[in-house]
């Protein structure tokens, strides 16, 4: 059976009843959901708060439980006074019938107490109408040593629930009243205007008697009549609306196209009137001038560009504004907002609107890049280091004048040739593998090489820096080489070698020895330093019998034997003639000195074959040990070691002797006796 009563209602009634019902039902549903969410969140927050407090206090109770200190436990539980909702707390130990410690909140209503069986059945917590019961384990080293039973009052939460229900009731009542007033007002706003609108539309329709009216409304009320009028009016206005719509669409498309073109232009576009006042600017102006298009409006264009030569710019601007001439790609230097800028400006007159369009491009970075490129070219041309650029296969594609001078070639002689032509064969075969591996794994290599100058016919030592360059876009590979002439550096190195080393044996000389000892004695150290004074036995006979040439070769062999007999961090030096000094670093005990002395004596006593001559020499050694805090000067140290060496000679040669204070008197007496 069809429901007829809604169709008999007036428009105001059909507006009022559904809307009011919907608002009331929606309010009740949302308030119910909010209420249960609020209760759930309140319960969860209460549980989290109590759990955090109880966990912290439980941690503090572990010591009291271990020492069975009930008084301390009760005192610790008194911290629950901070939360008035916690009415009582008990700490229960396993296998004990009574609580270890307890706490009762003062001025609190006694909640329903649970029996031990009830507490044991609680896994974590349980809730009734008035209280929340919570059981938390107290753990020590991941073992449960006790349980804390907490009773939490829900009176505050229950009171808040009642308060929420009360507030919701008042809100519902207020909502019904306000909705009723609004709906009553809506009747006057909607129903009456619709009736008036219906009458007006009938008058419009009567102007065209041929127009047929179709009523599609199911109800014979004001809305039904309004629909009938609208159907008739829409039929008459559709064609006109369609024409207007097509015209507006075309206009909007043209405008959108123009806006898109202007917005997509990367250059700043500014339109000024004939007085130079900005009346239009595109979004790219923000990038060029740092101001939004709205900030540029109604400002003189000269105040935006800020030329460094305002008089010259003004003259050109006025000529452009008057149509006498145009900016055509002129570069204007500007102070800009924060730094020096360069603008590329082109002007176009708009005569039909008495306006001028300026296209402005910020070419600061481009100009700087060009300047940097020119500077790089000058550096490349004037560099004292040889620079060349290779392609991926190692062929030369670019060189600077310094390279041509260094290699003694002309540019056309080496371009497009392999870099092998610049190196000696030995250096090329020695370096190509290491260079190739370094460029493959680290994309750079540096080291020394040697080239042959084709004009001077001399070899020149070089320090080479080679880098692999890969273009990010094309992935094309190039190799840059920077070669520095090491001729002067090698000469300085050679002179330094001569100044600090013996010319025959290449061992450190007396000057180098003094520097080394000075550094050892002044630097902080923890261990002793030993100085060995070595004098060759029988070396004078070698010079007398075989000649100085054989003697010099014997000294070179002695130097090698001394180096092989000592450690890597020790110093071997030649004083003069057949006298040598060995400085032993970080001497931890006397046994180490004796071992090295024995190695030296054994090595030097081994006969040497020099040009078919059987040469035999020996050595006498004296050593002096320098403690860490001793301040003896270097000459005295060498003198003490010399005295000890002389004692070795007195004792029969081929042995070593440590310096003692009494040796000075013995050696002096022996020396005086031998020379009386």
pLDDT tens track for 69-99: 878 877 888 877 777 778 888 888 887 778 8
**Of 302-311, 374-383, 388-397, where does the model show the most confidence?**
388-397
First to last CA, the chain: 159
Phi and psi, residue 675, nearest 5°: -110, 15
Per-residue model confidence as pLDDT tens digits over 242-301: 777 787 777 777 767 666 666 666 678 888 887 888 888 888 887 777 788 888 888 888
Torsion of CA 173, 174, 175, 180, to 10 degrees: 90
Per-residue three-class SS string for 524-566: CCCCEEEEEEEEEECHHHHHHHHCHHHHHHHHHHHHHHHHHHC
- For 211, residues 6+ apart whose C-beta sits below 8 A from its C-beta are 205, 232, 235, 236
Query: Comparing 42-56, 227-241, 303-317, 403-417, which segment has the lowest mean pLDDT?
Result: 227-241
Phi and psi, residue 239, nearest 5°: -60, -45
Res 606: pLDDT: 92
- Cα 639 to chain centroid distance, Å, stands at 61
Res 674: pLDDT: 46
Query: Is residue 496 within 8 Å of residue 506, measured between CB atoms?
Result: no
Res 337: pLDDT: 54
Q: What is the mean pLDDT of residues 606-611?
A: 91
Please state whether beta strands 579-587 and 444-453 pair in parallel, antiparallel, or not at all (unpaired).
unpaired
Confidence of residue 450 (pLDDT cuts 50, 70, 90): confident
Query: Comparing 36-40, 84-88, 385-389, 414-418, which segment has the lowest mean pLDDT?
Result: 36-40
Residue 16 pLDDT > 70:
no
Confidence of residue 512 (pLDDT cuts 50, 70, 90): very high
Quote the percentage of the chain above a pLDDT of 70: 79
Res 81: pLDDT: 79
Res 591: pLDDT: 93
Beta bridge partners of 357: 271, 348
The CA angle 124-129-133, to the nearest 5 degrees, is: 25
Res 34: pLDDT: 74
- For 313, residues 6+ apart whose C-beta sits below 8 A from its C-beta are 302, 305, 307, 332
Phi and psi, residue 668, nearest 5°: -65, -45
Confidence of residue 537 (pLDDT cuts 50, 70, 90): very high
Confidence of residue 315 (pLDDT cuts 50, 70, 90): confident
- For 334, residues 6+ apart whose C-beta sits below 8 A from its C-beta are 305, 306, 307, 308, 340, 341, 342, 343
Q: What is the pTM of this model?
A: 0.36
Question: Which residue, 156, 178, 203, 199, is CA-closest to 43?
Answer: 156
Per-residue model confidence as pLDDT tens digits over 182-219: 766 666 655 655 665 566 566 556 655 444 444 444 45
Residue 604 pLDDT > 90:
yes
Res 111: pLDDT: 60
d(CA 582, CA 530): 8
Q: What is the mean pLDDT of residues 425-441?
A: 74
Better pLDDT: 560 or 15? 560
Tokens for 363, please give them.
Answer: 């070419």
Alpha helices in 310-444 (DSSP H): 310-321, 364-382, 401-407, 411-414, 425-441
Alpha helices in 67-154 (DSSP H): 70-77, 116-121
Query: Is residue 601 within 8 Å of residue 656, measured between CB atoms?
Result: yes
Query: Is residue 544 within 8 Å of residue 534, measured between CB atoms?
Result: no
Q: What is the mean pLDDT of residues 526-540?
A: 93
Query: Is residue 554 within 8 Å of residue 536, measured between CB atoms?
Result: no
Confidence of residue 667 (pLDDT cuts 50, 70, 90): low
The CA angle 133-134-136, to the nearest 5 degrees, is: 160
Q: What is the mean pLDDT of residues 25-31?
A: 77
Better pLDDT: 511 or 458? 511
Confidence of residue 335 (pLDDT cuts 50, 70, 90): low
- Coil, strand, or helix at residue 455? coil
Residue 356 pLDDT > 70:
yes
Res 468: pLDDT: 84
Exposure of 5 by Cβ count < 10 A (0-12 exposed, 13-18 middle, 19+ buried)? exposed
Over its C-alpha atoms, the chain yields an Rg (Å, rounded) of 53
Average pLDDT value over all residues in the chain? 78
Residue 433 pLDDT > 50:
yes
C-beta neighbour count of 621 within 10 angstroms: 27
Q: Residue 336, by phi and psi: left (phi above 0), alpha (psi -120 to 50) or beta?
A: left
Per-residue model confidence as pLDDT tens digits over 618-641: 999 999 999 988 878 899 999 999
Domains of the chain: 13-161 (3.30.450.20), 265-368 (3.30.450.20), 388-491 (3.30.450.20), 501-674 (3.30.70.270)
**Of 368-377, 484-493, 644-653, where does the model show the most confidence?**
644-653
The CA angle 539-540-546, to the nearest 5 degrees, is: 85
Res 215: pLDDT: 43
Q: At 497, which helix (H) or strand (E)?
A: helix 487-500
Res 639: pLDDT: 93
Per-residue model confidence as pLDDT tens digits over 252-264: 777 676 666 666 6
């Amino acid at each position: 059976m069809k429901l007829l009563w809604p169709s008999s209602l007036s428009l105001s009634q059909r507006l009022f009843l559904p809307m009011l019902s919907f608002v009331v039902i929606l309010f009740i549903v949302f308030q119910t959901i909010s209420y249960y969410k609020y209760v759930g969140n309140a319960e969860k927050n209460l549980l989290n708060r109590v759990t955090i407090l109880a966990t912290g206090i439980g941690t503090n109770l572990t010591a009291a439980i271990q020492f069975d200190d009930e008084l301390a436990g009760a005192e610790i539980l008194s911290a629950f006074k901070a939360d008035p909702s916690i009415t009582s707390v008990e700490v229960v130990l396993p296998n004990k019938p009574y609580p270890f410690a307890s706490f009762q909140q003062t001025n609190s209503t006694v909640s329903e107490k649970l029996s031990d069986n009830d507490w044991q059945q609680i896994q974590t917590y349980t809730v009734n109408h008035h209280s929340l019961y919570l059981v938390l384990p107290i753990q020590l080293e991941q073992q449960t040593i006790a349980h804390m039973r907490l009773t939490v009052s829900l009176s505050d939460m229950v009171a808040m629930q009642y308060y929420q229900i009360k507030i919701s009731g008042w809100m519902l009542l207020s909502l019904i009243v306000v909705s009723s007033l609004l709906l009553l007002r809506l009747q006057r706003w909607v129903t009456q205007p619709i009736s008036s609108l219906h009458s007006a539309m009938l008058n419009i329709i009567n102007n065209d008697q041929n127009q047929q009216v179709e009523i599609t409304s199911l109800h014979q009320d004001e809305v039904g009549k309004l629909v009938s009028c609208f159907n008739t009016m829409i039929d008459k206005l559709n064609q006109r609306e369609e024409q207007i719509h097509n015209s507006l669409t075309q206009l909007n498309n043209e405008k959108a196209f123009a806006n898109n073109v202007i917005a997509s232009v990367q250059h700043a576009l500014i339109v000024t009137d004939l007085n130079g006042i900005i009346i239009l600017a595109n979004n790219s102006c923000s990038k060029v001038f740092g101001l939004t298009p709205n900030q540029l409006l109604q400002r003189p264009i000269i105040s935006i560009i800020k030329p460094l030569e305002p008089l010259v710019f003004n003259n050109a601007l006025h000529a452009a504004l008057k149509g006498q001439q145009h900016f055509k790609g002129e570069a204007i230097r500007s102070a800009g907002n924060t730094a020096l800028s360069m603008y590329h400006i082109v002007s176009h007159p708009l005569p039909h609107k008495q306006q001028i369009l300026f296209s402005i491009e910020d070419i600061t970075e481009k100009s700087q890049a060009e300047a940097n490129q020119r500077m790089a070219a000058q550096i490349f041309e004037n560099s004292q280091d040889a620079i060349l650029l290779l392609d991926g296969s190692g062929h030369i594609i670019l060189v600077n004048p310094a390279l041509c001078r260094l290699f003694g070639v002309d540019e056309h002689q080496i371009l497009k040739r392999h870099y092998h032509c610049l190196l000696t064969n030995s250096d090329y075969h020695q370096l190509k593998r290491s260079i190739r591996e370094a460029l493959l794994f680290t994309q750079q290599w540096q080291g020394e090489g040697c080239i042959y100058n084709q004009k001077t016919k001399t070899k020149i030592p070089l320090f080479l820096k080679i880098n692999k360059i890969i273009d990010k876009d094309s992935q094309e590979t190039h190799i840059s080489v920077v070669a520095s002439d090491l001729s002067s550096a090698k000469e300085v190195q050679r002179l330094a070698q001569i100044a600090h080393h013996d010319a025959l044996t290449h061992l450190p000389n007396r000057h180098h020895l003094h520097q080394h000892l000075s550094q050892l004695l002044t630097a902080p150290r923890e261990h002793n330093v030993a100085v060995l004074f070595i004098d060759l036995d029988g070396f004078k006979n070698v010079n007398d019998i075989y000649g100085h040439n054989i003697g010099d070769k014997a000294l070179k062999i002695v130097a090698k034997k001394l180096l092989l007999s000592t450690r890597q961090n020790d110093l071997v030096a030649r004083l003069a003639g057949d006298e040598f000094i060995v400085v032993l670093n970080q001497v931890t005990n006397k046994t180490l000195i004796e071992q090295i002395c024995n190695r030296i004596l054994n090595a030097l006593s081994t006969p040497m074959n020099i040009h078919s001559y059987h040469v035999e020499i020996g050595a006498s050694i004296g050593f002096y040990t320098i403690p860490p805090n001793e301040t003896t000067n270097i000459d005295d140290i060498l003198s003490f070691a010399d005295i000890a060496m002389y004692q070795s000679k007195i004792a029969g040669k081929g042995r070593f002797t440590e310096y003692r204070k009494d040796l000075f008197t013995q050696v002096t007496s022996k020396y005086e006796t031998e020379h009386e």
